[in-house]
Amino acid sequence: MLELIVVVGAWVFLAAYTAWFLSSVKKRERERAKFYERFVGIYNSSKDAIGYVSLDGVLLDVNDSFCRLTGYSREELLDNKKYQDLTPKEYHEYEAKTIERILRTGKPEEYEKEYIRKDGSRVPILLTVFVAKGINGKTLGIAAIIKDITERKNNERAIRDTREYAENIVATLREPFVVLDRDLKVITGNRSFYKTFEMTPEEIERRYIYEIGNREWDIPQLRQLLEDILPRNISFSDFEVEYVTLAPDARTVWFNSNQGDIDRRDLWKVSVAQGPPTAVTRTRDIEWEPLPLAGGDDPPLAYLASGARTPAHALIRVGGQTRELVPGGTPSGFPSAALVEPQPVTFTASDVNEAEMERRYDKAWKVSLQAASSAGATVTHHHGVGLLKQTQLLEELGDGRRMLTALKTAFDPDGVMNPGKLGQ
């Protein structure tokens, strides 16, 4: 009887333990399912692409962002396709060495490359690659988080292009010009700077401005200007400045500008201690090369000027009064009376759409140019005539166009320089 009780008790305990064990297993399975569901949700909702490959490079799993990045469907990617199939050949050797190092060290690494999308285009990417291991610690494959860096690359290219453009402008300036970084080290100078001061780029670039040459730039006034005045961020906007001069006492900057009148160049000044800039002259002429002959708020000022009816001539301004530096400097035969004062022409057409406004604008220009040409005027527009006025220029040149075309063909038989100009 005792043995029967023991056997029955054992069976009851075993049944209770089995029920508890099965309940625990089901609970763990439910928790694992919830965890997997959450993981899959995060995996597929990730903005970054995520991919998992075997040790020989075959894609085993990818998320939705990976599909959007490459342009392939999940089915296409998981049909025995390798990550090498998406990678341009010029990256293969470098990437193979990187993957080998990651597998050997077990340390994740970041690197950049490109993917070839389904449509044949390329997309720049940044990969964070790491080893994927199983529960027993055995390496199963390689996983990667992949960021689309197209925007970053475009920004880098824009910055690079802007810097190249600025450097090209600096290189073509006639006046000596040097560019400094925020630490007052030389970034670059233009050809005129190196020639004037008999220096080479190797001698001055990445050195402090005060150290270049025989330290002839280590001047107290220059130090004050660079270290004290410029950090106050004296700046100008919404107008152009061509010629800038620092007064002998280093307290005032003199310059010419089209501020307030886009068709003119007046003289302005601004205190280096505080703004804003103030106009010194207000005329209908073009004025440039201001040269203060002393310090102070209103020193004698020499400058050049020209007008619609007068050629370039030197002036001097003393005590608010201006006179010619060389009286009678205009040649006696200069045709001032035959010249006219240009007037601005404004086109308004607020009652029509943009296309119609453009059509009216073009028509008005053509009529104006024809009238100007018939009166014997010369077509011009800043440094050239512009594509808009090209046809009128060809009409004005007449037979001279053949000579210019012949010269252009002789110097540029393949037509690679300024194609489309002169009607070519």
Highest averaged pLDDT of the listed ranges 153-162, 188-197, 203-212, 391-400: 203-212
To the question of pTM greater than 0.85 for the whole model, the response is no
According to CATH, the superfamily of the domain at 41-148 is: PAS domain (3.30.450.20)
pLDDT in tens, 289-322: 999 988 777 889 999 998 888 888 899 999 888 9
DSSP E strands, 226-363: 241-246, 252-257, 266-271, 278-279, 286-292, 301-306, 313-318, 321-324
Query: Residue written as tokens 């280590």?
Result: 218
Which has more pLDDT, 384 or 410? Answer: 410
Q: What is the mean pLDDT of residues 201-218?
A: 86
Residue 2 has pLDDT above 50, yes or no: no
Q: What is the mean pLDDT of residues 202-207?
A: 90
* Residue 221 confidence class, pLDDT cut points 50, 70, 90: low
- Cα–Cα distance measured from residue 52 to residue 236, given in angstroms and rounded to the nearest whole number: 55
Residue ranges per structural domain of the chain: 41-148, 149-218, 239-326, 354-423
Q: Which secondary-structure segment (H or E) carries 395?
A: helix 390-397
Q: What is the pLDDT of residue 365?
A: 77
Encoded tokens for 421: 């100009």
pLDDT in tens, 153-173: 988 888 888 777 777 777 777
Look over the chain and give the mean of its residue pLDDT values, rounded to a whole number: 79
Q: What is the pLDDT of residue 133?
A: 80
Residue 234 has pLDDT above 70, yes or no: no
* Residue 120 confidence class, pLDDT cut points 50, 70, 90: very high
Question: Interior CA angle at 306 toward 300 and 307, to 5°?
Answer: 125
Whether 253 contacts 247, CB under 8 Å: yes
Q: What share of the chain is helix, strand, coil (3-state, %, to 5)?
A: 40, 25, 35
CB 333: neighbour CB atoms within 10 A? 5
Q: What is the mean pLDDT of residues 202-209?
A: 89
Give me the sheet containing 301-306, strands edge to edge. 286-292, 301-306, 313-318, 321-324
* Residue 32 confidence class, pLDDT cut points 50, 70, 90: very low
Which has more pLDDT, 1 or 177? Answer: 177
Q: What is the pLDDT of residue 267?
A: 92
- Cα–Cα distance measured from residue 179 to residue 177, given in angstroms and rounded to the nearest whole number: 7
Residue 271 has pLDDT above 60, yes or no: yes
